[in-house]
């Protein structure tokens, strides 16, 4: 029976106390992701798209073109002399320049999304103004769907990123600091079981993870109305698996490092690629197809995918076989390797 | 005779091209305080960490309470208490929390409050480690070693860097532990500490025992139990040969402008020395006499001082 005097309980309590008594870690774990969510949620809040800015090059026929486009709701039109029009197009202040004549010429950069949009809108307005009629009647229905906004995409990503950061720092940094202080050596001189020490790191993480996830998800639901469509149990299991995986990776990173500076560098090497590639802030599908298998194999990608599936799509665990298997594989391998190469003294 | 607390034979430990321990034999009797004495780098810490089962010797055997590390590691760990040099305990835990943590590792042991009482940290029981003084931290480290009620206590330079009052408090803790019948292995480079605490001492240098015995025996082995130290005006050279020829003078040593003589009896040698200097027309600027110490022994054996060796 495990009572309060059991070494595992005492070790876990010690880990937890050290964490809770460090104001800076409490900030990074709890306050920082909330602030990030607020800032990004406001910056990328949903609003009607800006009107597209285009220019008409001054010259014969420019005024009549301007008159025909005057009624277009989605366009802001200015008549500019050729040099000014070219300069504004080059610097992106207008998305497209219309040169009057026959044929009418559109000058624009086809690789820019905005210019592409400007071409479609301008052409549509102009053709109608010249008398084109739509052969098929269309009715528009406008909706705002919760779950499809940027904040909905962002929040699970922040959660994943936070689980990675606290797992790596919380375990990795603490282990190295104990080694530097010769505290690991002192513990080894007692009859403490080594497995108890390692387990205590994982257990203390579990306690903080529950808080970490609850705070961020509750905040997202209350402030931004981010949905939680899957079950709380599924979310908890995915988050715990993610936390344990990154604890294992933290242990691996810390297994031989002899200085705190050394382990900090290693952690950044491990985390930076995942910050960029794993789809915390923007979808990882933006990267070329060639990189996709590699990106999918990263633990943070798997965790983010699984968290989004549970929160936004309401997926059950059964539907998340692949990402959960990837996480579990990372966890088992990193713990196993870490134990094998771990330096105690 | 009861079986020894510790016995080790032929210990050798090499680090790359350095031999830290070069064939050391030790036997610590049950209930005694055994001192490993020597300068920094003599191999004291390496020796103690081998005895504590933290380092593997390259050669030699160690028996703790009749058991070997290879076969009885856990049983030995249950019965020894260890204080390591330079361990920093967790800053953000309180004194009582840390002792309770260490208590949890042992099957049997003493109550946390009882141990805090022994090391006089009861009032600090709720204080974070980061708020403790050097002496208090060291007493906390010893509390962690005592909480299992061990048979053997290992102390590795426990008073290095402490003020005199903290040192004395620590000595009291050691004395109280011994009063319960515990054995102590202590390393130090303070001679007075060894003379005061230890029943027997091994003087170690370059990984070897160069002298062994009770502090009294060791000092007596000098054959001269008193030391006369003097300096001459204007840095003049003393008449070394004439001084050495005086009856009762065993050794004459010149060291940084000071001359020190090991003598058998102060009352006969001192007047003779003064007469001799006067005969050479030399004036003394300083004169000190003291009982020979382990420091003098180390100087005699190695020609070096312990502190700057």
The phi-psi region of residue A262 (left if phi > 0; otherwise alpha if psi is between -120 and 50; otherwise beta) is: alpha
Predicted pLDDT of residue B2 = 65
Residues of B with CB below 8 A from A183's CB? 87-90
Lowest mean pLDDT among A68-72, A113-117, A160-164, A286-290: A68-72
Which residues of chain B, if any, have pLDDT below 70? 1-2, 306-309
Closest residue on chain B to A192 (Cα): B105
**What would the pLDDT profile of A135-190 be if each residue is shown by its tens digit?**
888 888 877 777 778 889 999 999 999 999 988 988 998 899 999 999 999 999 99
Q: Is B102 on the interface with A (CB under 8 A)?
A: yes
Rounded CA-CA distance B150/B101 in Å is: 16
Rounded CA-CA distance B192/B222 in Å is: 17
Inspect the interface and report whether the beta carbons of B87 and A186 lie closer than 8 Å: yes
The owner of tokens 């590792």 is B105
Chain B nearest CA to A253, separation (Å): 21
CA separation (Å) from B220 to A323, B36, B213, B226, B297?
77, 19, 10, 10, 9
Predicted pLDDT of residue B170 = 92
Predicted pLDDT of residue B260 = 87
Lowest mean pLDDT among A2-6, A60-64, A145-149, B264-268: A145-149
Predicted pLDDT of residue B309 = 46
Residues of A with CB below 8 A from B92's CB? 17-18, 21-22
What's domain A52-129's superfamily in CATH? abc type-2 transporter like domain (3.40.1710.10)
For chain A, domain boundaries: 7-44+146-341, 52-129
Helix ranges, chain B (H): 44-51, 69-79, 95-104, 112-118, 134-146, 164-179, 191-197, 215-220, 240-244, 266-279, 294-302
Predicted pLDDT of residue A31 = 87
Predicted pLDDT of residue B250 = 86
Classify B287 as helix, strand or coil: strand
Domains and CATH numbers, chain B: 6-214 (3.40.50.300), 223-291 (3.30.70.100)
Inspect the interface and report whether the beta carbons of B82 and A17 lie closer than 8 Å: no
Inspect the interface and report whether the beta carbons of B104 and A13 lie closer than 8 Å: no
What ipTM did this prediction achieve? 0.86
Helix ranges, A92-224 (H): 113-129, 150-167, 174-180, 183-188, 194-219
Q: Is B77 on the interface with A (CB under 8 A)?
A: yes
Classify B22 as helix, strand or coil: strand
Candidates A189, A194, A201, A343: best to mutate against B (most CBs of B within 10 A) is A189
Give the DSSP letter string of B246-284.
Answer: STTEEEEEEETTEEEEEES-HHHHHHHHHHHHHHTT--E
Q: Which residue from A5, A183, A191 is facing B90, i.e. has the nearest CB?
A: A183
Q: Which of B39, B16, B32, B14 is nearest to B24 (CA)?
A: B14
Chain B nearest CA to A196, separation (Å): 10
Residue B143 token pair:
């509390």
Q: Is A189 on the interface with B (CB under 8 A)?
A: yes
**pLDDT band (50, 70, 90) for residue A253:** very high
Sign for the pseudo-dihedral over CA of B156, B161, B166, B171: positive
Averaged pLDDT score across all residues of chain A: 90
**pLDDT band (50, 70, 90) for residue A1:** low
* Average pLDDT score over residue span A116-142: 87
User: Above pLDDT 90, what percent of chain A?
Assistant: 54
Closest residue on chain A to B148 (Cα): A190
Chain A nearest CA to B188, separation (Å): 19
Predicted pLDDT of residue B295 = 80
């Amino acid at each position: 029976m495990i009572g309060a005097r059991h070494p595992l309980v005492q070790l876990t309590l010690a880990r937890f106390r050290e964490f809770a008594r460090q104001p800076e870690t409490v900030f990074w774990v709890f306050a920082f992701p909330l602030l990030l969510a607020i800032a990004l949620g406001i910056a990328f809040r949903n609003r009607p798209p800006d009107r597209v800015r285009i220019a008409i090059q001054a010259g014969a026929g420019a005024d009549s073109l301007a008159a025909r486009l005057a009624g277009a709701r989605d366009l802001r039109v200015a008549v500019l002399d050729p040099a000014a029009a070219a300069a504004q197009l080059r610097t992106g202040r207008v998305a497209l320049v219309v040169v009057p004549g026959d044929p009418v010429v559109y000058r624009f950069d086809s690789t820019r999304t905005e210019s592409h949009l400007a071409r479609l809108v301008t052409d549509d307005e102009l053709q109608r103004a010249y008398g084109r009629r739509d052969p098929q009647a269309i009715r528009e229905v406008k909706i705002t769907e919760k779950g499809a906004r940027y904040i909905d995409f962002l929040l699970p990503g922040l959660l994943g990123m936070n689980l990675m950061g606290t797992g790596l720092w919380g375990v990795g940094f603490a282990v190295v600091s104990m080694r530097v202080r010769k505290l690991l050596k002192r513990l080894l001189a007692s009859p403490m079981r080594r497995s108890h020490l390692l387990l205590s790191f994982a257990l203390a993480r579990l306690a903080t993870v529950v808080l970490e996830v609850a705070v961020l998800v509750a905040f997202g639901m209350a402030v931004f109305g981010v949905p939680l469509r899957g079950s709380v149990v599924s979310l908890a299991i995915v988050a715990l698996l993610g936390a344990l995986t990154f604890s294992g990776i933290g242990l691996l990173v810390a297994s031989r490092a002899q200085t705190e500076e050394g382990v900090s560098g290693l952690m950044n090497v491990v985390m930076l690629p995942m910050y960029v590639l794993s789809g915390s802030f923007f979808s990882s599908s933006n990267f070329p197809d060639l990189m996709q298998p590699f990106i999918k194999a990263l633990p943070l990608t798997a965790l983010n995918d699984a968290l989004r599936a549970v929160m936004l799509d309401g997926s059950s665990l059964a539907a998340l076989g692949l990402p959960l298997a990837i996480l579990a594989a990372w966890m088992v391998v990193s713990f196993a390797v870490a134990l094998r190469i771990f330096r105690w003294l | 005779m009861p079986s020894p607390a510790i016995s080790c034979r032929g210990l050798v430990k090499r680090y790359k091209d350095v031999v830290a321990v070069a064939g050391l034999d030790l036997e610590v009797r049950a209930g005694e305080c055994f001192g490993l004495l020597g300068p920094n780098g003599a191999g004291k810490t390496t020796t103690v960490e081998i005895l504590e089962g933290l380092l593997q010797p390259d050669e030699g055997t160690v028996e703790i309470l009749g058991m070997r590390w290879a076969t009885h590691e856990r049983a030995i760990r249950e019965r020894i208490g260890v204080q390591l040099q330079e361990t920093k305990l967790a800053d953000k835990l309180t004194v009582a929390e840390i002792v309770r943590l260490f208590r949890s590792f042992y099957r049997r042991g003493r109550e946390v409050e009882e141990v805090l009482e022994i090391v006089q940290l009861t009032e600090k029981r709720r204080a974070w480690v980061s708020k403790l003084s050097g002496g208090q931290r060291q007493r906390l480290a010893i509390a962690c070693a005592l909480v299992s009620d061990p048979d053997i206590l290992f102390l590795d330079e426990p008073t290095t860097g402490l003020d005199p009052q903290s040192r004395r408090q620590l000595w009291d803790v050691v004395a109280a532990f011994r009063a319960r019948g515990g054995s102590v292995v202590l390393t130090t480079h303070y001679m007075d500490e060894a003379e005061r605490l230890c029943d027997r001492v091994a003087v170690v240098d370059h990984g070897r025992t160069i002298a062994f015995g009770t502090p009294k025996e060791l000092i007596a082995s000098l054959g001269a139990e008193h030391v006369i130290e003097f300096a001459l005006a204007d840095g003049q050279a003393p008449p070394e040969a004439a001084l050495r020829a005086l009856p009762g003078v065993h050794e004459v040593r010149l060291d940084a402008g000071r001359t020190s003589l090991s003598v058998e009896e102060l009352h006969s040698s001192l007047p003779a020395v003064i007469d001799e200097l006067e005969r050479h027309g030399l004036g003394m600027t300083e004169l000190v006499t003291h009982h020979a110490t382990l420091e003098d022994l180390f100087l005699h054996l190695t020609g070096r001082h312990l502190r700057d060796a």
